[in-house]
Copies of this chain bind each other. A is one copy, B any other.
Amino acid sequence: MDDDVTGDRDAYMAGILARYRKTLVEKTKFHLGYPYNLDFDYGALSQLQHFSINNLGDPFIESNYGVHSRQFEVGVLDWFARLWELEKEEYWGYITNCGTEGNLHGILVGREVLPDGILYASRDSHYSVFKAARMYRMEAVKVDTLLSGEIDCADFERKLTERKDKPAILNVNIGTTVKGAVDDLDLVLKTLEKVGYTEDRFYIHVDGALFGLMMPFVRRAPKVTFKKPIGSVSVSGHKFVGCPMPCGVQITRMKHINVLSRNVEYLASRDATIMGSRNGHAPIFLWYTLNRKGYRGFQKEVQRCLRNAYYLKERLREANVGVLLNELSSTVVFERPLDEAFILKWQLACQGKIAHAVVMPSVTVEKLDDFVEELIEVRNRAFPDGDVVVPCIVEEVGPENCACSVHRDISSPKSPKEERKHFSSSNS
């Protein structure tokens, strides 16, 4: 009798899981809106799912709990510290649960180093930055952005000057969420210097969400490096690398972390992470991919993504869709489609009048072709008389990228040569 019940229950649950798996396959196939690399195979690691792997507390200090993956975690951290040019004995870091945890950590370190510092961040920064300010009871100042989505350093200078008696804690974006814009770190540093800030009076957290990992592989891209006076860098692990669950990498300077930490005997571990119990599987996923692909493998993938993003931009422009693609970015911004079912199918992230597609390693040219064809079809269907009205998104993407009837003439006649400059020029 009990066996029957168990059997029925097992069959019922297996049915639910099979149906669920089917929707996951479908949803994964038509995904374009979020910067997640959905193309990975961690079959070799499925043997580890039977273990409760937990990296309690600090990755560099052994705790008493033996079922951990600290050795993999430290390996991954070493790799990133090298990538961002910080010496082994001078860095500290850990694998976080997501990009938000990285931002929460970086800004907290900044606040502990400069307790009466004011947080500055561009209005295109990830919402977790302003959430941090609220959580930590910090004064936060929103700085304007340029059309590209980059921080407007003229506005930054004005706002900084007004408050120059207080230290500054800055969030600098290496790839904003919506437009994939890269803040000009060098200009930010120059602005600080100009207003009279010495290095002991500012702290910079670099939110490298997606591009923090891509940019080091792009020739002539400005470098994310600790040789500049930055305090911390965070990057997501589930984005470009790809991982079954969200995770991230946080690297900061050892000297800052001593301010934050205190001893907790229970764990036999210094308490400098935000979370106490930490997912021990994520570091192994990251270790596995870093080792399998290697530096060269990443480089190839980054180049392919940028190439495909450019291809998507061109196809949209040909189809008379307003479109913006920032240099060094694989985030293609375009008019928000009118059809909600289409947005849902392709899982586009939208904001106001624009939407974006992020070209990740899992996005092929074939997928992009399907997407553009369907987008045109959907648009034509919305205007059955054949007279398609292209919305004006000039405020979001600028006159040269808007395809509405007013701005079309400015944007369309570009020679292929001029376009190609977009990629070959260094940061302008």
Contact = CB atoms under 8 A, between A and B. Distances in A.
Contact of A279 (B30, B126, B245): B245
When all copies of this chain in the complex are counted, the total is 2
Contact of A48 (B24, B38, B45, B137): B24
A156 B44 CA distance: 54
Contacts of A238: 52, 54, 277
Interface stretch (A97-105, A142-150, A406-414): A97-105
Interface centre among A20, A27, A266, A279 (most CB of B within 10 A): A279
Given A275-B98, A347-B66, A17 B246 contact: no
Measured as residues with beta carbon below 8 angstroms from the partner, the interface class of chain A is 35 or more
A17 B47 contact: yes
A279 B97 contact: yes
Interface in A1-46: 9-10, 13-14, 17, 20-21, 23-24, 27-28, 30-31, 33-34, 36-38, 40-42, 44-46
Contacts of A9: 291-292
Contacts of A50: 40-42, 244
A354 to B, nearest CB: 11
15 contacts: A13-B288, A20-B72, A27-B67, A33-B64, A34-B64, A34-B65, A46-B49, A49-B244, A97-B275, A97-B279, A101-B275, A108-B135, A131-B271, A137-B137, A244-B281
A427 interface: no
Given A54-B245, A244-B49, A277-B98, A44 B13 contact: yes
B100 A277 contact: yes
A265 interface: yes
B14 A44 contact: yes
Interface in A277-312: 277-282, 288, 291-292
Given A244-B51, A245-B245, A288-B13, A31 B66 contact: yes
